[in-house]
Structure 1
Amino acid sequence: MSVSLFDVKGKVALITGSTHGLGMAMSRGLGLAGATIIVNGNSSQEKIDAAVAEHQREGIKAVGYKFNVTDEAAVIEAIAKIEAEVGAIDILINNAGIIKRTPLLEMEVADFRDVIDIDLVSPFIVSKHVVKNMVKRKQGKVINICSMMSELGRDRVGAYAAAKGGLKMLTKNMATEWAKYNIQVNGLGPGYFATSQTEPIRVAGHPFNDFIVNRTPAAKWGDPNDLVGAAIFLSSKASDFVNGHVMYVDGGILATIGKPLNEN
């Protein structure tokens, strides 16, 4: 198998919500593989600048753009600016997302809509306007960051699960409509990963930590770098006939019902 199948050198990759966490891990991985990285965020310019600087210290070509992925006018303006200043977007990773852990009976409708807007509507908005230009070039890669909640329910994350389940089906429909233009649209579904957000609960003896370690056949939390290979595969020629799938990088969670809590 030719290594060139996985070559992303010279490609321009936009990763939304990439100032930290899994988004930054994927952008770093693609950058080290030779892609030019577009870092996006909306909370602060300082976070974007810090992420760009961190990439550049490793020799990655990276630039940052602050815009709200739920604001269609802002998205249109940002995409036009990126393509004029950096180049045509070859790879889009719709990573921006939020979660609100509230029981459905207690959740405000506004909060439910907020999660749906960011986690489901924004991938539609950003993809729509990036893909218009991919169609003209007859090539492109779109990766929607799904979740195990695209397949499973869990207490207190009803809005998130609804959004991620919808994103799985949106991925399939994007693939259905855009494959004829040589555009591959797939999902990437992370399992439970060791990030700064999960650090407080990744302690031996913490109920959720013990639950995840027991529930995962690999018996550990994922390392953010574990997503990089899958992201490169779905961004490269190696996946040119892969369309409409969700690739789960979860240590095997979705493959099993789990084991009894008292089993060694």
Structure 2
Amino acid sequence: MSSVPRVLLLGGHGKIALFLTPLLLARGWDVISAVRDPKHESDILKFNRDDGKGGKVTVSISDLEKVKSSEDAAKVITAANPDYVVWAAGAGGKGPVERTYAIDQEAAKHFIHAAMSKPSITKFLLISHIGSRRKPAPWWTAADWESVDRIKAALPDYYKAKLDADEYFSVITAQRKEKGDTNFQGINLRPTTLSDDPATKKVEFGRTGTGERAPISREDVAIVADKVLARSDIRGYQDLIQGNTPVDEAIEKTAKTQLCCFEGEDLEAMREKFKGQML
């Protein structure tokens, strides 16, 4: 890894990414922010400080909808030369169905494959959704699963696209570990419904309910993502809802248990599903 970590932030003009960028820069890390529209470049570059302190952000003009293969994704990654990758992109779920699948499913999978094929990339944080599961988490209540059913009914294509990408992420992360890279961090950060409210800096992290009645602010998601990226002991599915626990305390609690929220999912079925798409 370079002396200063370099982070490729995919979906750099999204609301979570715009909160996350200055937090990463404040650590002294460099950020390569991938955005589709050149008009958004000024919104990203404004985070560079005139006094030279902190990291530096640069912009990669990359239309994720046009990424049709892992080779296309690899070109973006090679140009950025990151140590860490963050997927904060998404079609939003309410636009054209074709765009939802092109970005939330296919482009996500292409970047997962391309990034995890490079040993120099040691962390990949994928921002997903707490309801991206095939069955209820064992610790959920009936009300928790009912809230997921409502999301599936309202946004069926978004649900299918995110689920496919998440399952691929799980399989490829497991494969990388099985190949001997036990230090790699594959983190699937899974917030509940999002809001534009100011950060509370109080959350529940790890094994939670769905928190459907209390959306979490995008700023809080960014704060958690920043802190998790700075650690070496968080991996796998990690659910995130608004709560009463200070962010640092909530993350530390999960780190001590070394638990993730994948329990209840079927990794072997996922391996069979993606057996022709492995590293």
Task: Specify if TM > 0.5.
Answer: yes
* Counterpart residue identity of residue 158, structure 1: P
Deviation at 1:9, TM superposition (A): 7.6
* Counterpart residue identity of residue 115, structure 1: T
* Counterpart residue identity of residue 112, structure 2: S
Matches within 5 A, 1:206-245: 215-216=213-214, 221-239=215-233, 242-243=234-235, 245=236
Taking structure 1 as reference, are residues 120 and 55 closer, same or farther at Cα in structure 2, changes over 3 Å only? Answer: farther
**Identity level (%):** 13
- Tell me the distance in 1 between the aligned counterparts of 2:230 and 2:112: 18
* Counterpart residue identity of residue 95, structure 1: A
1:246 to 237, 240, 257: 237
Deviations 1:13-60 (A, max 9, x none): 011111130122122222212211111111x11202321223446854
Deviation at 1:129, TM superposition (A): 2.1
Could you tell me which runs of 5 or more consecutive residues in structure 1 were left unpaired when the two chains were aligned.
1-7, 84-88, 103-110, 200-211, 253-264
Deviations 1:116-170 (A, max 9, x none): 220022122122222332x2x4x60011111133142323211111122223322
Taking structure 1 as reference, are residues 163 and 56 closer, same or farther at Cα in structure 2, changes over 3 Å only? Answer: farther
TM value normalised by structure 2: 0.64
1:61 to 56, 74, 88: 56
SS in 2 for 1:40: strand
Structure 2 partner of 1:144: 126
TM value normalised by structure 1: 0.68
Structure 2 partner of 1:106: none
Aligned residues: 208
- Tell me the distance in 2 between the aligned counterparts of 1:147 and 1:141: 19
Taking structure 1 as reference, are residues 124 and 37 closer, same or farther at Cα in structure 2, changes over 3 Å only? Answer: same
Taking structure 1 as reference, are residues 56 and 224 closer, same or farther at Cα in structure 2, changes over 3 Å only? Answer: farther
- Tell me the distance in 2 between the aligned counterparts of 1:115 and 1:25: 23
* Counterpart residue identity of residue 106, structure 2: V
Matches within 5 A, 1:151-170: 151=133, 152-153=148-149, 154=151, 155-170=153-168
- Tell me the distance in 1 between the aligned counterparts of 2:172 and 2:212: 36
SS in 2 for 1:215: coil
Structure 1 partner of 2:190: 189
* Counterpart residue identity of residue 51, structure 1: I
Q: Is the 8 A contact 2:109 2:169 kept in 1?
A: no
Structure 1 partner of 2:170: 172
Taking structure 1 as reference, are residues 213 and 230 closer, same or farther at Cα in structure 2, changes over 3 Å only? Answer: closer
